[in-house]
Structure 1
């Protein structure tokens, strides 16, 4: 019997052998005819088993990995934003949003037209209200982050954004009828504690949070105001994540990005005109390079994030956002020359362990889970529509 099991595991597909005889006498000639006898055959079977396990894990966590990749792009984009805020004269938050989203909108429309994606300008019918809601919430999420980077360090601004996964887990359970998994909530809480240890925000740790080469600026009142605006951004990001999940795979990711970027361009333009905010024209090459970095890094990061959230529940998928603090911490040490502390190392390990736990504890029957998720999502949306009709 063991020889038959080994042979089946080593073949590209075992479907042709499931109907074979069940006796070991029938299986033995098959093994004898293998060109990999003895130890070589067993090693090949082991390698095939590892490969299949790895592929199964990858298939189960594709959305999670896409979101992690997005955090690398977003951290690089935030670094460029932080640098531009320090240039004299500093580039304003509204101008950064205008530049980044102009590039994103152009890239999105050009790609959809080139690949002939249906409804490139307005998106699929029946989803346009959700797409518009995603754009509305997304603007406030982006503004909150960019504004806070004027006065907070990169790690401080990042740690505040990690309130979003907690909020999106609750939002997904309330509005989309997604399952709220206690073990994932526990992993999120552990990750949040790790984030706090890494960032050591001044409003929690006081003067002990200061480190050599820190990038804070402004008065305590300005920092407190930045924290408040950042919390508004958290609510905006929560709404954006929830609507992306509600849209699901019923529209192309670039439809969502086109709506989001167009909304940001229009709102930021109007806001700059009303507030008479000057438009800073780049006079140095490094200015232009960082502006382009913000645009293109934000574009690719948004693509990966949207694709990832379309494949994961908002509760589980948003947990992967915690990995951004690792990228942010590395980049801040490289460009602002901060020195990592023991608390930072401990916090990083907590985040990595919690993220791996979330990834490795996903049910193996991903197809069934996906079908259940879609059913619950559809049920939640229908209940919402019925409530609106009754009202």
Structure 2
């Protein structure tokens, strides 16, 4: 029997013992790895992969933009409406430069008459029920909206009798902040700290653009700004001769206008979608037409008739812009909370700056540019920081049953409109299918089974 050691072949080391190699050994095959060769080889799939990544990024961006649009459609409608309001003020300035200035009451009467006629015709052509009075359950709210609207409009116009437009504008822009507070107290809407801070910053931007005389002095307020008086009342144009008592009364009228605007905005939110948007505009227009006509008769205000075609064209354009403004503004507030919706009102002064530059070639100064940047930044922040509109509602429905308040019906309907169908189904399963305790079996049945 042979030994194990003799049957095994000796181990031969494969490690070279020399530093020089034969030239016939192909070293190129070992010079690069398979991964390096794959990287150097052109791959036609790289272009399609990059296109897919680019397409995925674009789809994500488009989805984000769509979400922001859905969450802020009310805010966008209000922002668009104030563009027509600013254009209306610009047209009034152009009309006053063509012919003698039109009296304030006549302007209200004609503008609101055209707005009311347009609204009634539109609702009649689209078969909207009750075009004049609106739905029965909200007629008192519509009447209240008209009263508040006329109070706000009259207060703002009468304040111009002894106040410059810059001073009156700053006081009128207190209405959005007051609306947010009243909406939180009366309608139980959310008015967060961020919204309050953005509202304060926007008001500060308005102050920088308007430069009221009670802060910047008469020299600054006399400078050419975008806030020239849109109408001249009683031929007054020199505000330096106003007595302290007259100025105090004008401030009082301006605060009455703020009160009316706050009430009108809050009432629109309380109505919600229980009435068509134009129902609110018709209620406002009818009351403005009736009251302005009565005041003109009592005060014997002279009526200025058009004598030129361009004057008549501008007048018709004013009525059209007023109609679009009222319609879009009401639609926006129906879809947005009072605090966030009225935030877009501050953008009106930005539109005024642009229109003044385009039509009157007035270049804004540094303070106006800073104020415009502050207002736009605040509006953009409020728009992009909005959360899911149905999230808070769903959380509250899981915590406690909803209260049955008639003023909140329109608000609840607006909030539910922002919930996706799948989310509605989940909510229904949570609220409609509660967990029930099993019913205990009858005692007689148990005894019968035992005897069997």
Question: TM-score of the superposition, structure 1-length normalised?
Answer: 0.82
Q: Report what 1:355 is aligned to.
A: 379
Q: Report what 1:101 is aligned to.
A: 112
Aligned equivalents of 2:160, 2:404: Cα separation in 1: 38
Aligned equivalents of 2:167, 2:359: Cα separation in 1: 16
| Pair 371,199 (structure 1): closer, same or farther in 2 beyond 3 Å | farther
1:219 is the counterpart of 2:239:
yes
Alignment of 1:296-315 (within 5 A): 296-315=320-339
Instruction: Say which of 335, 338, 341 aligns to 2:362.
Output: 338
1:129 is the counterpart of 2:153:
no
Aligned equivalents of 1:61, 1:293: Cα separation in 2: 29
Q: Report what 2:131 is aligned to.
A: 120
Aligned equivalents of 1:38, 1:299: Cα separation in 2: 52
Q: Report what 1:282 is aligned to.
A: 306
CA contact (8 A) 2:271 2:407 kept: no
Q: Report what 1:368 is aligned to.
A: 391
- Give per-residue Cα distances to partners, 1:132-152, cap 9 Å, x unaligned: 000001012122333445666
Aligned equivalents of 1:218, 1:83: Cα separation in 2: 20
Q: Which moved more, 1:324-333 or 1:133-142?
A: 324-333
Q: Report what 1:388 is aligned to.
A: none
1:197, distance to aligned residue in structure 2 (A): 0.6
How many pairs align?
Answer: 348
Q: Which moved more, 1:177-186 or 1:310-319?
A: 177-186
Instruction: Say which of 274, 277, 284 aligns to 1:250.
Output: 274
1:372, distance to aligned residue in structure 2 (A): 8.0
| Pair 74,152 (structure 1): closer, same or farther in 2 beyond 3 Å | farther
Aligned equivalents of 1:90, 1:168: Cα separation in 2: 33
Alignment of 1:54-73 (within 5 A): 54-73=65-84
| Pair 273,345 (structure 1): closer, same or farther in 2 beyond 3 Å | same
Instruction: Say which of 119, 135, 138 aligns to 2:149.
Output: 138
Aligned equivalents of 1:144, 1:283: Cα separation in 2: 30
1:378, distance to aligned residue in structure 2 (A): 6.1
Alpha-carbon RMSD: 2.7
Q: Report what 2:15 is aligned to.
A: none
1:167, distance to aligned residue in structure 2 (A): 0.9
Aligned equivalents of 2:396, 2:151: Cα separation in 1: 28
Ranges in structure 1 where 5+ consecutive residues have no aligned partner: 1-33, 384-391
Q: What is the SS of the residue equivalent to 2:364? A: coil
Q: Report what 2:9 is aligned to.
A: none
Structure with the largest fraction of helix: 1
Q: Which moved more, 1:171-180 or 1:248-257?
A: 171-180
Ranges in structure 2 where 5+ consecutive residues have no aligned partner: 1-44, 230-236, 410-452
CA contact (8 A) 2:163 2:239 kept: no
CA contact (8 A) 1:156 1:201 kept: yes
1:40, distance to aligned residue in structure 2 (A): 1.1
Aligned equivalents of 2:395, 2:155: Cα separation in 1: 34
| Pair 189,39 (structure 1): closer, same or farther in 2 beyond 3 Å | same
Instruction: Say which of 159, 163, 168 aligns to 2:179.
Output: 168
Q: Report what 2:412 is aligned to.
A: none
1:232, distance to aligned residue in structure 2 (A): 1.7
Instruction: Say which of 180, 195, 216 aligns to 1:205.
Output: 216
Q: Which moved more, 1:260-269 or 1:222-231?
A: 222-231
Aligned equivalents of 2:48, 2:185: Cα separation in 1: 58
Aligned equivalents of 2:356, 2:164: Cα separation in 1: 9
Aligned equivalents of 1:208, 1:278: Cα separation in 2: 34
